[in-house]
């Protein structure tokens, strides 16, 4: 079953989460004509802590999901909290995997997912950040992060009969910037039975990595793709001719990393869209970390990278959890109706990514 990620909704308490599920997830399921709808829940750290410490609250939330025909296979534990503040930017990468707060939050999510996991799920997955923003980061930080993952693995081993696995999500600008970075780190630092990769296809596209080659590298490494976040980036073939159109996407809440592919194959980097015009050559194509609706390409001269997502889906061997993660609806130019948009995205995913979901 393909899920949609509820980090698109701003609720950061249990009552608010249930209200959002009633307002959005239930009508999305009804619009799709589905008996069940997968939801990849995002729980802020205070919510996760409260649920982890209260078995009756977990059972109550499970009942709220069941009565609405909603199934949970995966949690998104990347944002710790405040994901819909007026300005988020670099705050989304804190706390890092060197901090006790990150370990405690992830352990709480393990406890919650063990209770909420759908009956037909072969495993549960929890996606998480790629250690932290790239700087500052030291060899000692690397060691501490590996030890932190070990602590969470110990909690997973005690969580129940069905396995729960962490899925580390490489992202441009972070310590694990690319899939290659993540594969190297994971293959050396963690227990592969419990920790694998979250392959976000927007992030993959932004890096200008070839999806077929990337999948081959992952398979060769022995690292498992635990979760796929089905997402699309903004592609600009000629940024010099698209300044006005790009300006509409330079919003102030989220970080929108930009990469430019040079004629020599070198990938040039800017950490946010407003900085890109000054910092990049502007001679080659740009890709922007701005999650676009899967079903709706922007108007020319802008484009989308759903071709990368399609290539990943076609090349996957085995099954991974698939989560549609377009958290940017609130900052999209002319976003339109959220229920209709989510339903259209999921319909697109079901039609184009057949056979890849667990």
Torsion of CA 204, 208, 214, 218, to 10 degrees: -50
Please tell me whether the peptide bond between 301 and the residue prior to it is cis, using omega within 30 degrees of 0: yes
pLDDT of the residue at 90: 98
Q: How many CB atoms lie within 10 A of CB 301?
A: 15
pLDDT for residue 43 is more than 60 = yes
In this prediction, residue 160 carries a pLDDT of 79
229-287 residue pLDDT tens: 999 999 999 999 999 999 999 999 999 999 999 999 999 999 999 999 999 999 999 99
Q: What is the pLDDT of residue 356?
A: 60
Q: What is the mean pLDDT of the chain?
A: 96
Catalogue the E-assigned strands of the chain.
2-5, 37-40, 70-71, 74-76, 124-128, 164-168, 195-200, 225-230, 232-236, 258-261, 267-270, 286-292, 302-304, 321-324
Express each pLDDT in 173-189 by its tens digit. Answer: 999 999 999 999 999 99
Distance (Å, whole) CA 257 – CA 272: 4
pLDDT tens per residue, range 2-23: 999 999 999 999 999 999 999 9
Q: Which fold has domain 2-232+306-352?
A: TIM Barrel (3.20.20)
Q: How many CB atoms lie within 10 A of CB 72?
A: 22
Q: pLDDT at position 317, please? A: 77
Rounded distance between C-alpha atoms, residue 44 and residue 83, angstroms: 9
Question: Coil, strand, or helix at residue 181?
Answer: helix
In the chain, where are the structural domains located?
2-232+306-352
Decide: helix, strand or coil at residue 124.
strand
Q: What is the per-residue pLDDT across 224-236, written as a single tens digit (0 to 9) for each?
A: 999 999 999 999 9
CA distance 309 to 294: 9
Please give the average per-residue pLDDT across 109-125, as a whole number. 96
With bands split at pLDDT 50, 70 and 90, how would you rate the model's confidence at 319?
A: confident
Pairing of strands 70-71, 74-76: unpaired
For residue range 205-216, list pLDDT tens digits in order: 999 999 999 999
Q: Provide the pLDDT confidence category of residue 358 given band limits of 50, 70 and 90.
A: very low
Rounded mean pLDDT, 142-157: 97
Residue 237 φ/ψ, nearest 5 degrees: -65, -40
Is the CB of residue 96 less than 8 Å from the CB of residue 102?
yes
Spatial separation of the C-alpha atoms in residues 229 and 303, rounded to whole Å: 19
Distance CA 134, CA 123 (A): 31
- Rounded distance, CA 267 to CA 210, Å? 13
Q: What mean pLDDT comes out for the span 20-39?
A: 98
């Amino acid at each position: 079953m393909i899920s949609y990620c509820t980090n698109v909704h701003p609720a950061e308490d249990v009552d608010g989460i249930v209200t959002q599920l009633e307002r959005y997830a239930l009508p999305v399921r009804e619009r799709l004509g589905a008996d069940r709808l997968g939801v990849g829940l995002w729980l802020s750290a205070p919510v996760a802590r409260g649920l982890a410490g209260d078995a009756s609250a977990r059972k109550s939330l499970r009942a709220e999901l069941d009565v609405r025909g909603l199934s949970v296979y995966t949690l998104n534990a990347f944002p710790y909290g405040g994901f819909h503040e007026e300005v988020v930017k670099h705050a989304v990468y804190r706390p890092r995997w060197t901090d006790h707060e990150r370990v405690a939050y992830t352990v709480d999510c393990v406890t919650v997912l063990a209770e909420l996991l759908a009956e037909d799920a072969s495993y549960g997955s929890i996606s998480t950040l790629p250690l932290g923003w790239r700087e500052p980061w030291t060899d000692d930080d690397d060691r501490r992060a590996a030890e932190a993952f070990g602590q969470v693995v110990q909690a997973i081993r005690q969580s129940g009969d069905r396995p729960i696995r962490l899925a580390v999500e490489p992202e441009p600008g972070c310590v694990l910037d690319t899939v290659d970075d993540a594969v190297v780190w994971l293959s050396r630092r963690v227990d592969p039975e419990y920790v694998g990769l979250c392959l976000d296809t927007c992030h993959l596209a932004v890096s200008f990595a070839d999806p077929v080659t990337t999948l081959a590298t992952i398979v060769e490494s022995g690292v498992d793709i635990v979760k796929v976040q089905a997402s699309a980036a903004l592609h600009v073939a000629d940024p010099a001719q698209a300044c006005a159109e790009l300006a509409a996407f330079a919003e102030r809440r989220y970080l929108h990393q930009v990469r430019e592919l040079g004629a020599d194959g070198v990938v040039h980097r800017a950490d946010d869209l407003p900085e890109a015009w000054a910092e990049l050559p502007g001679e080659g194509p740009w890709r922007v970390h701005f999650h676009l609706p899967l079903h709706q390409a922007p108007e020319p001269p802008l484009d989308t990278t759903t071709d990368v997502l399609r290539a990943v889906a076609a090349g996957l061997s085995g099954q991974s959890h698939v989560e549609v993660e377009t958290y940017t609806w609130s900052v999209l130019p002319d976003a339109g109706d959220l229920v209709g948009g989510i339903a259209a995205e999921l319909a697109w995913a079901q039609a184009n990514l057949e056979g890849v979901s667990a």
